């Protein structure tokens, strides 16, 4: 297979400037049917929306995750660092609330933010550009670990992470891949993400780790290719498609306990996200 380069120009973050462990994958559907209720002698089905907590909701991918969740009928608790920014990012929606959530501030505060009404967490955080080279470690490793710990404190047993291809570049023979070098020179970004992934995998939480290629703001220009972990070392994908995979994963049992890598290719056949997840073996 021809090597395709990881488009560094797309990797915009890079600049110097359980409840209990469930053996059975659980899905989170947007419309949950609560037990039948007797109302004035008539048995009615009460429908309630599932609430999903999105960390990094004002980010380029996070915003798309929120928009797609709302479009699918979920309620969203948007975890953000800046509520004013969030209000300017999203239009008013009764199904959308904002809560302050800085992932570096520890799991106790995050647990408060997640609350006892969220069914799942989607994490689309990524360190912000800064000269502080410890930021990737604090946000992409420790911050994600804090979020998982917060899930465990609040009994949330579903965690979906937007990570990155090449996080395990050294082990897959990509040590000299320019993207691997560049991303790690400025703050060990990929190593930080891999550390967080390893923590998630050992935590017992029902996880889906999505590792996209270079992210593009453009709408999709091809179909999604999904491969197992440590497979892809280049190419790009639209953030719309990354958000779609993260949101769809909530409803797809085959996405549980899996690490997948995604890019898009114009020549790729169109497959459902369910079939794509089903094609990846669980480890």
Ligand X SMILES: NC(=O)c1ccc[n+]([C@@H]2O[C@H](COP(=O)([O-])OP(=O)(O)OC[C@H]3O[C@@H](n4cnc5c(N)ncnc54)[C@H](OP(=O)(O)O)[C@@H]3O)[C@@H](O)[C@H]2O)c1
Residue with tokens 């359980």: 18
- Using CB under 6 A, which of 54, 78, 162, 280 touches ligand X? 162
**Residues between 76 and 95 that touch ligand X (CB under 6 A):** 81-82, 85
Q: Is 62 in the site for ligand X (CB under 6 A)?
A: yes
- Using CB under 6 A, which of 30, 107, 125, 238 touches ligand X? 125
Q: Which stretch binds ligand X (CB under 6 A): 7-15, 42-50, 92-100, 263-271?
A: 7-15
Q: Is 134 in the site for ligand X (CB under 6 A)?
A: no
Nearer to ligand X, 49 or 62 (CB): 62
**Residues between 42 and 61 that touch ligand X (CB under 6 A):** 56, 58-61
- Using CB under 6 A, which of 143, 169, 187, 234 touches ligand X? 143
Q: Is 13 in the site for ligand X (CB under 6 A)?
A: yes
Q: Which residues bind ligand X (CB under 6 A)?
A: 10-13, 56, 58-62, 81-82, 85, 101-104, 124-128, 139, 143, 162, 164, 212, 214-215, 239
């Amino acid at each position: 297979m021809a090597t395709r380069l990881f488009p560094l120009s797309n990797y915009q973050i890079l600049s110097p400037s359980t409840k209990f462990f469930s053996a059975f994958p659980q899905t989170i559907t947007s419309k949950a049917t609560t037990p039948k209720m007797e109302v004035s002698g008539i048995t009615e089905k009460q429908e309630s929306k599932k609430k999903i907590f999105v960390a990094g909701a004002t980010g380029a991918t996070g915003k798309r995750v929120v928009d797609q969740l709302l479009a699918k009928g979920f309620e969203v608790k948007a975890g953000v660092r800046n509520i004013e920014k969030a209000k300017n990012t999203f239009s008013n929606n009764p199904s959308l609330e904002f809560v302050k959530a800085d992932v570096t501030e520890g799991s106790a505060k995050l647990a408060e933010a997640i609350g006892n009404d969220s069914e799942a967490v989607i994490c689309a955080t990524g360190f912000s550009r800064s000269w502080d080279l410890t930021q990737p470690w604090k946000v992409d490793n420790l911050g994600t670990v804090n979020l998982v710990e917060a899930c465990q404190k609040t009994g949330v047993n579903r965690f979906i992470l937007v990570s990155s291809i090449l996080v395990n570049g050294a082990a897959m023979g990509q040590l000299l891949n320019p993207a691997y070098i560049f991303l790690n020179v400025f703050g060990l970004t990929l190593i930080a993400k891999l550390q967080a992934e390893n923590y998630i995998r050992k935590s017992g939480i029902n996880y889906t780790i999505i590792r996209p290629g270079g992210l593009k703001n453009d709408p999709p220009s091809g179909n999604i290719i999904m491969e197992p972990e440590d497979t892809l070392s280049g190419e790009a994908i639209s953030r719309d498609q990354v958000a779609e995979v993260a949101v769809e994963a909530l409803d797809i049992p085959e996405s549980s306990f899996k690490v997948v890598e995604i890019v898009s290719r114009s020549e790729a056949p169109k497959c459902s996200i369910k079939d794509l997840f089903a094609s990846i073996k669980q480890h």
